[in-house]
Copies of this chain bind each other. A is one copy, B any other.
Amino acid sequence: MAETDIYARQTFGQKLGLGRSPALLVVDFVNGFNDPEILGGGNIGAAIEATVPLLSFFRAKRLPVIFTRIVYAEDGSDTGLWCEKVPRLRDLTEHARASQVVEALSPQRGELIVRKTQASAFFGTTLASLLAFRGTDTLVVTGCTTSGCVRASVIDAMSNNIRTVVASDCVGDRAIEPHRANLFDIGQKYADLLEAREIMKAIEA
């Protein structure tokens, strides 16, 4: 494929590998992004299922697990342009069912939950600072959507010099073409792409 050719010729897509201290980042796997009637659909359900054993693995290894949720104030005081572009986002408030992490992946006490109002897990949050505090140099990323909050978070992880591996079977999107196109971009420019089982094998090693 010509496109892959030009990327390779221009040195894109080098493998970064894992660092010494990985954490699992679970992006926006909340009820509202699992439900096709709200903001979900496509292969998101399958990605949630594939994340279950990966989450168990990180917990068993006592490696840090981090969740993100989009949370706006109930009185609308912290909404902005993004809620004009995608109005349904403003329903994601602290106690709304739509903004709770799906039951299959429920956060445990002590696991960091990053509340955010923008696509990236890093924007307007202390995530980068907390990774520095813990010495985390690598994020294994799962979540949704591939073309939305995953992509945005992965770009910022790169900008913050955090080594990133996207678990390709553990990210999902409401539509398959954007999912595929964004995995291509991410793999060429910002992160490694591995399946969950490959990631677990690499961490074991």
Q: Please give the residue numbers on chain A whose beta carbons come within 8 Å of chain B beta carbons, in ascending order.
A: 2-3, 6-7, 10-14, 16, 36, 38-39, 41-42, 73, 75-78, 80-82, 84-88, 109-113, 117-120, 123-126, 128-133, 135, 137, 147-148, 151-152, 155-156, 158-163, 174-178, 181-182, 184-185, 189-190
Contacts and interface: CB of A to CB of B under 8 A. Distances in A.
B77 A113 contact: yes
25 contacts: A11-B87, A12-B86, A14-B87, A16-B85, A73-B112, A75-B110, A78-B126, A80-B129, A82-B159, A85-B189, A119-B189, A119-B190, A120-B155, A120-B159, A124-B126, A124-B129, A124-B159, A128-B129, A129-B159, A129-B160, A132-B161, A147-B189, A178-B185, A181-B181, A181-B185
Given A132-B160, A155-B119, A159-B119, A6 B175 contact: yes
A54 to B, nearest CB: 20
Contacts of A135: 135, 137
A81 B126 contact: no
